[in-house]
């Protein structure tokens, strides 16, 4: 285990927070240093963790009502006027409902808008399939100019929020509703576009993003008991992909598993596979939602149901490793 994670990331008493909380603290810290930051919200101030920002910076907060397409278009206009808009909603509705405005108004014009998509993945839970954004990375990744980030815990989400406030150009920050383990620290490195090895290994590389990085670490523990050495790479930035590090771990291990709370098509797994197919093809397995819609349920139960739990990740790693040995 790397030295810059907490001492015992598998403790039953590990602190838990949703990644959206990290955005909420990060946006306030960023705005204290940059008065050009504005937040636009679609009638979801508390859910998207903008309440503290609204209280601290009332003149930099705009309540849009339920108008996601206008949210994106107005954000683009404010960016052209020199502001740094953070447009916030549930990921299902922005970028989901507002996709064309994100593509044309924001990305085609390459304006400095930050898209904050909360409640992504099946871990939204009881809200069900209508509110579970599991295609959001796939609909954004082909669009030029955009950066896509899925932080692994609340601390990394805060760092990512501050980092994108200092970065010019369209960015999408993917956040979760449900609490998840906080296992990084203030010392854990974070740089946009730079993946971090959270656990070294030699047999199989598990490349993960979002809160499922913690389950990938749990899977590596399971594999260690079977005599399998698993490397875990936190690929928080999906676009631009850290191709140098992905290539390095693929060459080192010879087998790769990707893990994401997203459809297995078009997300992190697709990005890794497209790159390795051109540079260093290796046996791969993909852990994610298997081309079905989500459903209502408890968050952890849904993660397990759709095959994204630690045991499922470990099983995928064994499959990839066996193919590498054949």
Other C-beta atoms closer than 10 Å to the C-beta of 198 total 25
Distance CA 90, CA 176 (A): 9
- The residues near 270 (Cβ < 8 Å, ≥ 6 apart) are 138, 141
Distance CA 41, CA 61 (A): 8
Q: Which two tokens stand for residue 191?
A: 């740089």
- Asked whether the beta carbons of 91 and 23 are under 8 A apart, the reply is no
Count CA atoms closer than 13 A to 277's CA, side-chain side: 6
- The residues near 46 (Cβ < 8 Å, ≥ 6 apart) are none
Specify whether 196 is catalytic.
no
With 0-12 / 13-18 / 19 or more C-beta atoms within 10 angstroms meaning exposed / middle / buried, residue 292 is: exposed
Q: Closest by alpha carbon to 296, among 131, 180, 179, 89?
A: 131
- Asked whether the beta carbons of 177 and 18 are under 8 A apart, the reply is yes
- Asked whether the beta carbons of 314 and 287 are under 8 A apart, the reply is no
Distance CA 305, CA 294 (A): 10
Q: Which two tokens stand for residue 262?
A: 């997203």
Look-up of token digits 């499959």: 319
- Among residues 46, 68, 260, 301, the one annotated as catalytic is 68
Catalytic residues: 68
């Amino acid at each position: 285990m790397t030295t810059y994670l907490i001492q015992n990331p598998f403790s039953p008493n590990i602190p838990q927070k949703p990644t959206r909380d990290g955005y909420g603290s990060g946006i306030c810290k960023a705005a204290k240093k940059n008065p050009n930051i504005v937040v636009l919200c679609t009638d979801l101030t508390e859910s998207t963790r903008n309440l503290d920002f609204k209280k601290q910076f009332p003149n930099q907060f705009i309540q849009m009502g339920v108008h996601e397409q206008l949210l994106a278009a107005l954000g683009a206009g404010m960016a052209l006027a020199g502001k740094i808009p953070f447009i916030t909603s549930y990921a299902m509705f922005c970028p989901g409902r507002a996709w064309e405005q994100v593509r044309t108004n924001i990305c085609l014009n390459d304006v400095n808008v930050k898209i904050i998509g909360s409640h992504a993945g099946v871990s939204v839970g009881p809200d069900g399939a209508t509110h579970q954004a599991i295609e959001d990375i796939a609909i954004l990744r082909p669009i030029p100019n955009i950066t896509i980030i899925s932080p692994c815990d609340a601390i990394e989400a805060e760092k990512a929020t501050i980092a994108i406030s200092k970065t010019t150009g369209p960015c999408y920050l993917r956040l979760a509703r449900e609490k998840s383990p906080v296992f990084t620290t203030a010392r854990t490195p974070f740089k946009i576009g730079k993946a971090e090895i959270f656990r070294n290994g030699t047999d199989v590389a598990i490349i993960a993003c979002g809160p499922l990085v913690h389950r990938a670490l749990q899977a590596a523990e399971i594999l260690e008991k079977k005599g399998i050495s698993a490397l875990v790479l936190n690929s928080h930035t999906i676009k631009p992909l850290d191709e140098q590090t992905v290539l390095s771990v693929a060459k080192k291990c010879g087998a790769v598993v990707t893990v994401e709370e997203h459809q297995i098509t078009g997300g992190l797994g697709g990005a890794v596979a497209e790159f390795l197919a051109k540079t260093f093809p290796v046996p791969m397995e993909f852990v994610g939602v298997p081309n079905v819609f989500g459903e209502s349920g408890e968050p952890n139960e849904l993660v397990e149901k759709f095959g994204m739990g630690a045991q499922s990740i470990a099983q995928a790693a064994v499959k990839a490793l066996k193919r590498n040995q054949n």
